[in-house]
Amino acid sequence: MPRKIAVILSGCGIYDGAEIQESVITLLRLDQRGCQVQCFAPNVSFAVVDHLTGETTGERRQVLVEAARIARGRVKDVREARVGDFDGLIIPGGSGSAKNLSDFASKGPHCSVLPDVLALAEAFAEERKPVGLMCISAALAAKIYGPTVTCTLGKDDATAAVINQMGAIHQACEADDIVEDVERKLVTTPAYMGALSISEAAAGINKLVDRVVEIARAGQGPS
């Protein structure tokens, strides 16, 4: 049977939502691995950033509506997600993870995760189902798994210090590779936290997706 993977998107666009290239690469690789995928997003508003200038516009939009751009309309409110329906969970990066899924961008180590997103991610952790966090989404690992969880955001010493302050164990990693917390079945990759090209980002993302699928298959019996 094909593995069923949930993907949480945080909008559409690196500066105020899900990183588009990371999200599309994730969805492509999942399809190549024969997985059934359902995208989810929180139905909350966010402050829009002009991706040409990098400046906020003063406009507000809905994360769920914007995520539908990436998912080609096939996205559901994260409150509809049930851990029992899926074999694994992946959250691409982008500033939306630090602004819309959490308030990491403004509060750093004192951040909190959106309750609906946290509840779903914790359910996957409790069920010992694999989770993949890429780019800045890995900053949420300590909130999901608690202290001593191992993760990576690449080789940025400043960000690593914040992650360690949150109780996680940060492991430096090249953009084209992954870090796995074997005990917790958590896989992380730096993606555009370190990648200088889409090919470099894709190399790490593909490894993350492949590993999440492999863990899901091992944990749920033969395909």
Question: Partners of 41 in the beta sheet?
Answer: 77
173 is catalytic: no
Please tell me the predicted confidence (pLDDT) of residue 219: 78
Question: Domain range for residue 72?
Answer: 4-220
Do 54 and 15 contact (CB within 8 A), yes or no?
Answer: yes
pLDDT of residue 223 exceeding 60, the answer is: no
Kindly state the tokens that stand for 133: 């966090």
Q: How many structural domains does the chain have?
A: 1
pLDDT of residue 82 exceeding 80, the answer is: yes
| 220 confidence band (pLDDT: 50, 70, 90) | low
For the residues 178-186, what does the mean pLDDT come to? 98
pLDDT of residue 4 exceeding 70, the answer is: yes
E-assigned strand segments in 9-146: 36-41, 45-49, 56-62, 75-77, 88-91, 131-134
pTM of the full structure: 0.97
Q: Give the span between the Cα atoms of 149 and 71, in whole angstroms.
A: 30
Q: How many CA atoms lie within 13 A of 146 on its CB side?
A: 5
Report pLDDT digits (tens) over 8-27.
999 999 999 999 999 999 99
The structure tokens 């690593």 sit at 160
Which residue out of 12, 135, 151, 173 is catalytically annotated? 135
pLDDT greater at residue 220 or residue 173: 173
* CATH code where residue 54 lies: 3.40.50.880
Please tell me the predicted confidence (pLDDT) of residue 13: 98
Closest CA to 21 of 180, 147, 172, 134: 134
Please tell me the predicted confidence (pLDDT) of residue 91: 98
